[in-house]
Amino acid sequence: MLKAMGIGERLQLALDDLHLNQTNAAKRIGVDRSIIGKYITGGQKPSKLFLIAIKAELGINPDWLLTGDGDMFVPLSTTGIDEIDQIVEILRRNPEWAKLNLNLLKGGETTADLVKGLASLSEPERAMAVKMLRGLQHG
């Protein structure tokens, strides 16, 4: 039955299991509620950063969400382990972040470079990246 469901239906099922509405889930993940609504209605496919965020913040298994394969939730011991590498990989592919990485290697990074890199992301990706970076700072 779960494999026959779409991504949006599985996302809603996971949120229901966590006793979260769209607004509360959005706050925990760091996105606007309308983004989650679009994912649930099928109006938009979840971004890689969203999938990282739901795994890190809610423990939802991204593979299960996308395909219906595996368990709905990841074991607690695996949440938060690979997220940094995944974020770095996403940012590495972005041209503005590639320039920032080159500057970092040369020792010439600036706040302006960081701001330009963040500005080049979509709004939902930027919000998630900032939230995750803040979490790293405090964690």
Domain chopping of the chain, boundaries? 7-76, 83-138
What pLDDT, on the 0 to 100 scale, is given for residue 39? 94
- pTM here? 0.59
Q: What's the average model confidence in pLDDT over 24-45?
A: 89
- Number of Cβ within 10 Å of residue 77's Cβ equals 7
CA distance linking residue 83 with residue 87, whole number of Å: 6
Distances in whole angstroms, Cα of residue 51 to Cα of each of 26, 34, 58, 75, 115: 13, 16, 10, 16, 23
* Band of pLDDT at residue 125, cut at 50, 70 and 90: confident
Q: Is the dihedral of CA 32, 127, 50, 75 positive or negative?
A: negative
Beta bridge mates, 73: 60
- Helix (H/G/I), strand (E/B), else coil: 36: helix
Helix 123-138 crosses helix 111-119 at what angle (to 10 degrees)? 130
- Domain covering 7-76, topology: 434 Repressor (Amino-terminal Domain) (1.10.260)
pLDDT tens by residue, 59-81: 899 999 999 999 999 875 554 54
